[in-house]
A and B are shown apart, each in its own frame.
Chain A
Amino acid sequence: MAQKKGSKQEVADDEIHVPLQAILMADSFAQKFRPITLERPKVLLPLVNVPMIDYTLEWLASAGVEEVFVFCCAHAKQVTTYLDRSNWRSQPNFAITIIESHDCLSIGDALRFIDQRNVVRGDFVLVSGDVVSNMPLTEVLRQHKERRKKDKLSVMTMVVKRSKLSPITHQSRLGNNELVLVIDPASKQLLYYDAGFEPANKDSSQRQIVKHVILDKSIVADRSAVQLCTDLQDCHIDICSPEVLMLFTDNFDYQRLRRDFVKGLLSDEVMGNKVYTYEIYRDYAARVDNLRAYDTISKDIIHRWTYPLVPDIQFGGNRGASKLDRCNVYKGPGIVISRTAKIGENTVLGEGTVIGENSVIVNSVIGRGCIIGNNAIVENSYVWNNVTIGDDARMKESVVCDGVVVKSGAVMEPGVVLSFKVVIGSDFTVPAYSKISLVAQPTEEGSSDEELECADTTSDAGESPPGSLPVELSTPNGASSEILMDSVAARQWDSSEVGNQGAGFKWIIKEGSQTEEWRHSVAPFPKELLEDILKRQIHYDNEDAIDSGAISGAESTPSTGLNDDDDVDDLDQDEQENDSSFFEREVEETFRRAVSETSGVQQDHVVLEVNALKLAYNLSFSDCAGAMFRAFLNLALEEPHTSSASGELLSNTTLVITKWAPLLKRFLKSEDDEVEVLLKFEEVCVEASKEFARLFVLILQLLYDKDLISEDAILSWAFEKKGADESDKVFVKQCEKFIQWLQEASEEEDQEEET
């Protein structure tokens, strides 16, 4: 009886209900939405008039998640306030706990912070607050749990979705870079993840140099097949085991989920933790990572791919009061549209918006309480709440935030972003891809990527709870913002940036990140750029083919060139040669600095610097000595001398060597180094400056006299050269007499010693 009870207990233990938990990152730790995110956190930005976080929360709630930990860092207060006012807090079976931190710089920090709190009890969904999805979690959770039962090391399951890249820009429709995944087709284990993180130079021409995917042999070794995919989109929805948090704590240097954590797991064979993928086909999942994704996902929502998360159905902060008309036109309550205004397809008009005569709105989202004047044109744009657009204004592929005033006749060229409460003067044309904000661009952008969304106190002045709250509608601008307006009104805005009576700073696009801007903008790629890329691409492909078609008719040896090895070897060699010549140049520059420095001889500094170079290039003392000697000769060569009279050159050289002998001495640690100097000297004579050839013996003698080169070194140099080609022996022959003399001298010495 007792036994029976015990077994029953066990069963109960197994089936004990663990609520499904989720961690929602309400901070993206990225800057792609700047300058907008300086004033409002990304998760609260309206996506088709509903804050992004509502999409994520609604999806989590509908997918059966019972407990959500919302982590916020930057603008934590705004997020908290928003959630407190929303009705998320009062949902049955859906608990929201806010975890607030102020010193987290990355998702890694955040997860470590959460780990300390000890709140996660089982498998959890890790998701960012900017993910829009309608996928059910049952199947992926089941698969994850099943794998976990068999193998405790399968710690994470990533959701992926197929998405074809643009053949020209190699960019997904969400504006992400090409993502290469290698997956085991049988187990769906992820073996390789390459999102082209942080190309050295952000220019796209540089990017394409990464031509190869290199698979470690361990990946291929004992598998029957692997799958290389470029057409999968990372949905940034992860099912994680509690170990994930522990791993973050253990590896305190992990910062980013993908770049550090996933890559770390994949490359770490010792621990053997595994990541799996789960592909969704019919469901929707995408992350608003940049403005292009914002555009794409907005369109998807309007086209109802995200059903039931669409404007006319109630969820979260969306009251679902919009009515769907033909051609995907959603009209909120209380809007006033002039009879002559034309509302084109795929358009959302928020509550209380007024549209003037003959205005055209196409493929756009207009927020609540906007006033659009007469004859205005809004195309493919996102206009948030309480925006005023004057008569005859034109706007294309732009994002316009809350409270912006666009005065009559102003023109927004494609890709423009106007942050909160910016004012654009009348008849002013905002050039393409401009970003304008009332907040000045932070000057130092040092480690820009590692920075926060930024919550500096100054920008928090504009903090007003997002206008999407119904309460906010009646009083769109709180008192605090008026103070802001007062304070900024005092400033003088540059009218060349925002026009007459405009307000705002133009943000300067960083040098080199131009392409990045294009890639991530709401506006499609400019046509010229596409053509340019196309041209370059053909060029690359040709090069590619030439590179890799490693067999040439003239080649005598059979090429194995299967993996373009020849290529690589050549490259390595080139690099090495380059390295040593770079090294020599740097040594010479260092030396020249010492020469030109009139204030005393800073020999110690030179030695220090050259030693540093030596370490940097991983070379030996003999290399240093050789390079230094070469620098001497070059210096001597630069002094005026007539090419016919070698006497002048000799005296110059003598001067230099005499003066800098102690310096060279510092690098002559052994006989080998001295021999190296001689070899270098020969090299110079043969290759670079033939003038020295005649002086070889004399300079050699000088070096000997100055005790720079010992007789042993000279003799061993001569000995080394014995077996060499005739052409190599020119200098040895030249020095024959000198060497003979040395030999005799040493013999005499020996004899003396003997006697």
Chain B
Amino acid sequence: MGPIMKFQVVVLAGGMSKKLFPLVSKDVPKALLPVGNRPVLSYVLELLEANNLKDLIVVVAGEDAAVRVGGWITEAYDGRLHVEVAAVSEDIGTADALRAVLHRLVVDDVLVVSGDIVSDVPLGAIAAAHRRKRAVLTAMLCSSPSASTAEAISSTGKDKAKKPSPIDIVGLDTSHQHLLFLASGTQVDKDVKIRRSLIRVVDQMEIHMDLMDAHLYAFNRAILQEVLELCQGIKSIKQDLVPYLVRSQSKFGAIASGDTQTEAVGKTPNKDDSGQPQTPMQDIVPLPQHILPGVLHPASLELTCCVYIASEGKYCSRVNSIQTYGDINRDQVAGELVFLTGYTVSNQNNVIHPTAEIGSKTTVGPQCMVGDGSKLGDKCSVKKSIVGRHCRIGSNVKIINSVVMNHVTVEDGCLIQGSVICSNVHLQERANLKDCQVGAGYIITANSEHKAEALSKREKS
């Protein structure tokens, strides 16, 4: 703690993600969405705590959500972490959210983490790499889910026609340390355009399609503040800020490389002083140079963007869609990554809370979780699923590949497959759900059948 890791952490916890509808609601903001029976935010917070990063600002979109998240954090982490919760208005970009807490940042480097990461990557290593390179930006990359979960999907044998999740296009130098190019995968359908001068600087550039931006960045505070204040146009960290920094870097890199350094440095400022019409762009671009000598190592006038690539065995993924929510719950957290949750695993390779009651002839398969106080009736079958706290589940119920949150009532003879059931849902007798998402408090009538639907109560607005 303290002097060694002088990092401030900004956790962007989001608010009501539209992508996760109907799972999130006013009562359950994204940050508190249960993953493996714990709020998703807890994974990040615990990861930070484990890495001795205890000075946090949690940015939540929406006042109500902020109150809820704040309440939960004080309850759960009181005394363990120093957390400030900041509320920003909804529907603003990530960079705007960051801008809103800019004035609270005081130490040299800032770690910006998305609140929906479930990971076991050593954050300390990222911070150290950032420091070592004196980088302006260090982005964490992990191997793209399209490679790792592709197997998982095919093994479950469904959703084969599912569109591959968007990947990132990442340009690195051959040492895999410098970030040279970053474009989000949604743009793959267009041609990839890369500046020649950029490649020239490094001679060889590798374009990776198998890496994914994990939305975990370390920034140099001074430059972050300057850039965000000057370029109000930057809305999103991933879409605008990071590419902007990456591009600026190449400018300086290009000049500072080779034996032209001294001359180049001498000449660029001249151009600025030459009284050219001041477009906003010119206002911005040369700026880092003036502040560079102050904040960076004086010998190197380079603005470097670095990457930290998570090593093979490490896990990192984001809960940013219903698909990933289901995947993370089922395949990872309850399965191979159960250690992240801190629960003890039984001999059957599942986690059943001691206070849970299981009826006779009921089987709970491997990679399952049953939360505390839940009751399962007789002759039930739970496979690759998570059952939350205080659920009441009748007899002859089958729960397969699903997530059932807290306080859910499931009556006899229900069949739940590949679905997500939010808190306080009531499934009446012999309801049959397949690939559905059921919003909080919904009541599913007896004998009804639903397939691939998103069901939710109409929000009173």
Contact = CB atoms under 8 A, between A and B. Distances in A.
- Are these two chains actual partners, yes or no? yes
Interface of A: 164-165, 167-168, 170, 178, 180, 185, 210-217, 219-221, 223-231, 534-535, 537-542, 544-546, 548-549, 551-564
A180 B190 CA distance: 20
Contact of A211 (B169, B195, B209): B195
B240 A217 contact: no
A456 B19 CA distance: 74
Given A220-B192, A537-B260, A544-B254, 14 more contacts: A213-B193, A213-B194, A213-B199, A224-B209, A228-B205, A541-B251, A546-B281, A549-B244, A551-B234, A552-B280, A553-B231, A553-B232, A558-B233, A559-B240
A538 B199 contact: no
B188 A221 contact: yes
A167 B259 contact: yes
A420 to B, nearest CB: 40
B76 interface: no
A176 to B, nearest CB: 14
B207 A227 contact: yes
A536 to B, nearest CB: 11
B301 interface: no
B207 A168 contact: no
A215 B194 CA distance: 8
Contacts of A557: 233
Given A551-B233, A552-B233, A228 B199 contact: yes
Contacts of A228: 171, 194, 199, 204-207
Contact of B210 (A224, A227, A230, A542): A224
B197 A224 contact: no
B191 A561 contact: no
A212 B196 CA distance: 5
B183 A562 contact: yes
16 contacts: A212-B193, A213-B194, A213-B195, A214-B192, A214-B194, A216-B191, A217-B188, A541-B251, A541-B255, A548-B195, A549-B244, A551-B233, A553-B230, A553-B233, A554-B233, A559-B240
B268 interface: yes
A223 B233 CA distance: 34
B159 interface: no
Contact of A545 (B182, B235, B250, B260): B250
Interface of B: 93, 147, 169, 171, 182-184, 187-197, 199-200, 203-210, 230-236, 239-240, 243-244, 247-248, 250-251, 254-255, 257-260, 263-264, 267-268, 271, 279-285
A211 B205 CA distance: 15
B231 A551 contact: yes
B222 to A, nearest CB: 18
Contacts of B268: 538, 542
A544 B197 contact: yes
B268 to A, nearest CB: 7
A182 to B, nearest CB: 8
A36 B341 CA distance: 79
A214 B190 CA distance: 10
A230 B257 CA distance: 15
Q: Which of B197, B206, B236, B259 has the most CB of A within 10 A?
A: B197
B233 A164 contact: no
A165 B196 CA distance: 13
Contacts of B281: 546, 549, 552
Nearest to B243: A562
Contacts of A551: 231, 233-234, 240, 244, 284
B239 to A, nearest CB: 6
B92 to A, nearest CB: 10
Contacts of A170: 200
A560 B186 CA distance: 11
A5 to B, nearest CB: 48
Given A185-B206, A554-B233, A555-B233, A563 B193 contact: yes
A228 B244 CA distance: 21
Contact of B279 (A167, A215, A544, A552): A552
Contacts of A165: 200, 203
Contact of B208 (A167, A224, A537, A558): A224
Given A214-B191, A549-B247, A553-B232, A542 B199 contact: no
A535 B260 CA distance: 10
Contacts of B192: 214-215, 217, 219-220, 563
Contacts of A549: 244, 247-248, 251, 281, 284-285
Given A167-B260, A217-B188, A563-B187, A558 B236 contact: yes
Nearest to A560: B239
Nearest to A531: B263
B205 A227 contact: yes
Q: Which of B93, B195, B263 has the most CB of A within 10 A?
A: B195
Contacts of B210: 224-225
A230 B204 contact: yes
Contacts of B282: 546
Q: Which of A221, A541, A552 has the most CB of B within 10 A?
A: A552
A538 B264 contact: yes
A231 B209 contact: no
B279 to A, nearest CB: 7
Nearest to A551: B233
A619 to B, nearest CB: 28
A164 B239 CA distance: 34
A198 B334 CA distance: 60
